[in-house]
Every structure is written in structure tokens, then in C-alpha cells.
A and B are shown apart, each in its own frame.
Chain A
Amino acid sequence: EVQLVESGGGLVKPGGSLRLSCAASGFTFSSYAMNWVRQAPGKGLEWVSSITASGSYIYYADSVKGRFTISRDNAKNSLYLELNSLRADDTALYYCARDFIVGFYFDYWGQGTPVTVSS
């Protein structure tokens, strides 16, 4: 059974940093591109970042480019998101999501980890 379990969320002050993790199990992690998608309270879904299976290619939404860094450790079956220079509008539930094996869409999602940016 595919499982994605996010962790690392919490309360952080504006300008602060946080590192999110996503532990994957139930599939060959190194064969799949992975993503982060976020959802602000009461708002819609927003794609944040993607990383290919090998980690060779990385993409970001304009809203986080230069502030967030996605990475992965295939030996540990883990995906990460480093959040820097955080702003109030980064407050959201952050989901880890797997790409379909041969398509650029999300076929499995975790339950999310909440990030709150507030002084």
C-alpha cells in the first residue's frame, strides 16, 4: 500500500525557516517524480514544487522560487522541502504527492503537515 507521511510543520515567525519531510513507503520511491502542493486555510490547491525521480530536474512555482528548496534522498525513501524567508501567505497545509509513473499528475497524496507563519 502506497503511503506518504509528511512531518516537520509548525509555527514559525515571519522571515524564519522550516524543513518539511515526507516519508514514502509501499512503492519504489526512486522510480517516481515527487511534488509538494499546499492549501491555505479555506483556499484552493496550489502546486509548489516538483522533483524528478533521480533529482536531476527541479521546478518551482513563481510564488516560492528563490525561497523554497525541494530535495530527495532515494536511499531513505524521503522527500524534503526547505522553506526560507517565510511570509504570512505561506501559511498552509503542505501535501506531499506522488506523480503518476508516466504522467505529470498526482496519483497519491499524503495527509499534509501544517505550516503557520505568524509573529
Chain B
Amino acid sequence: SYELTQPPSVSVSPGQTARITCSGDGLPKKYAFWYQQKSGQAPVLVMYEDNKRPSGIPERFSGSNSGTMATLTVSGAQVEDEADYYCYSTDSRGNHRVFGGGTKLTVL
């Protein structure tokens, strides 16, 4: 079955650039999406179709998808960006959807 693999944790100091990766054999043919989940809250979409930011998401969030790896980049990470981040992808008909295992981003 299709899987997406993320590092369990990433840690940066405030103002540094955080890069969260997501690898999967199917990614060259699929879009990647990213969700942010803060403690005790529902997930929030922060990136869709590889590199598009939803309204209201700060410009410091950007995304890319190349080869078998998608990357969420937080340029100049802020303390409020501390959260779990999940990559997500699906096949072309939406009948097989998968999340990565999640990455805990620590900013301190």
C-alpha cells in the first residue's frame, strides 16, 4: 500500500528556516498537501497542490515537490509555528488517501 514517510521531529531556533520532508514513491505523479495541527486543535491546511498557500497562511510557508520527495519550508520560523505537520496525498480519484506519520516542529 502507498506510504508517506516523514521525520519524527525537526527543531530550529526562532528566525531560522525549517524544512520538513515527506517521501513517497507515488509523489512524482501526485500532489502533496500539508496540514498543521497545534496541540488540542483540529488540523489546518497550510499548503495544497504542492506549493499553493491557502488564504490566511503566512508567506513564510512554502512548498515543493520534486522526484519522490515533497518539502514544506518555514522561512524565519516563529514560536507560534510549533506544531505537528502532516503531509497528505491521494490518488487521482480520491479513493486511496494517506497521511504521513507527522513531524513535530519545535521552535526554541
**Which residues on A are within 8 Å of B, measured CB to CB?**
33, 35, 44-47, 50, 57, 59, 61-62, 95, 99-100, 103-107, 109-112
CB atoms of B99 and A110 under 8 A apart: no
> What separation, in Å, do the CA atoms of A47 and B100 have in the docked complex?
11
B95 / chain A contacts, CB cutoff of 8 Å: 50, 57, 59
Listed by A's residue number, 29 A-B pairs whose Cβ atoms lie within 8 Å are: A33-B94, A35-B97, A44-B84, A44-B86, A44-B99, A44-B100, A45-B37, A45-B86, A45-B88, A45-B99, A59-B95, A59-B96, A59-B97, A95-B42, A99-B94, A100-B48, A104-B93, A104-B94, A104-B97, A105-B45, A105-B88, A105-B90, A106-B43, A106-B45, A107-B45, A107-B54, A109-B43, A110-B42, A112-B42
Distance from A46 Cβ to chain B, minimum over Cβ atoms (Å)? 7
> What separation, in Å, do the CA atoms of A39 and B96 have in the docked complex?
17
What is the number of residues of chain B that contact chain A, defined by CB distance less than 8 Å?
A: 25
Distance from B100 Cβ to chain A, minimum over Cβ atoms (Å)? 8
**What 20 additional pairs, Cβ within 8 angstroms, besides A44-B100, A45-B88?**
A44-B84, A44-B86, A44-B102, A45-B35, A45-B37, A45-B43, A45-B86, A46-B99, A47-B98, A47-B99, A59-B97, A61-B97, A62-B1, A103-B49, A104-B93, A105-B48, A105-B90, A107-B54, A110-B42, A111-B42
Distance from B2 Cβ to chain A, minimum over Cβ atoms (Å)? 11
